[in-house]
Chains A and B, each alone.
Chain A
């Protein structure tokens, strides 16, 4: 069973640029969630995708957007980067349905630094 993978591992961008982060979900999982974890804090929910459609969104501005593909992999796009966007971005996959819906499996994260 393949776990959740994310790419790239690290990324450095400058203010105003755009970035795309990628995530491959665990085999058999159809739901992907994205989280932002600032240094020293707990992860904050950005949004979730289920069967290629957004299925919930946290308190993040529209410049944070996403996609989910037919194979359930996902992208997180952030436009007009700001210094405060510097964080670890975590992807988590899960399987919708029953108790298993709530259990999410996390990838190792992408560390984004905005200069």
Chain B
């Protein structure tokens, strides 16, 4: 079945460092791809999405490009802030249930 594999954490970076969190997927159809963020004690918030190949999702300085040839949707940010500390989930959906990766915990130190 459809699935998502994302980079294991935790990831610890200094403020203003470059961030990459890898995500690859397996799907039989043409899913939409998502990155969600979860802050401590809260539910999931949509960070960005892409609905077809070569689409680039972006929000709050984060970007990810839907790469069909490599079945990837890596999350990047050029300069992280302490407030970006959270758990990040890659997910896919193909007109029904949403499949999530295991999550990557990011800690940004001042």
Please choose the segment from A14-22, A63-71, A74-82, A105-113 that sits at the chain B interface, where 4 or more of its residues have CB less than 8 A away.
A105-113
User: Interface size bucket, B side?
Assistant: 20 to 34
Q: Is the CB of B46 within 8 A of A45?
A: no
Give the residues in chain B near A44, CB-CB below 8 Å: 100
In the complex, residue of chain A having the shortest beta-carbon distance to the beta carbon of B99: A45
* Residue B71 is within 8 A (CB to CB) of chain A in the complex: no
In the complex, residue of chain B having the shortest beta-carbon distance to the beta carbon of A44: B100
Task: Kindly provide the distance from the CB of B88 to the nearest chain A CB, expressed in whole angstroms.
Answer: 11
What are the interface flags for A75-96 relative to B under an 8 Å C-beta threshold, 1 for contact and 0 otherwise? 0000000000000001010000
Given contacts A45-B98, A90-B44, A92-B98, contact A104 B103 (CB under 8 A): no
Question: Residues of B at under 8 Å CB distance from A?
Answer: 4, 31-32, 34, 36, 42-46, 49, 51, 89, 91, 93-103
A-B pairs with the 3 shortest C-beta distances?
A42-B100, A45-B97, A102-B32
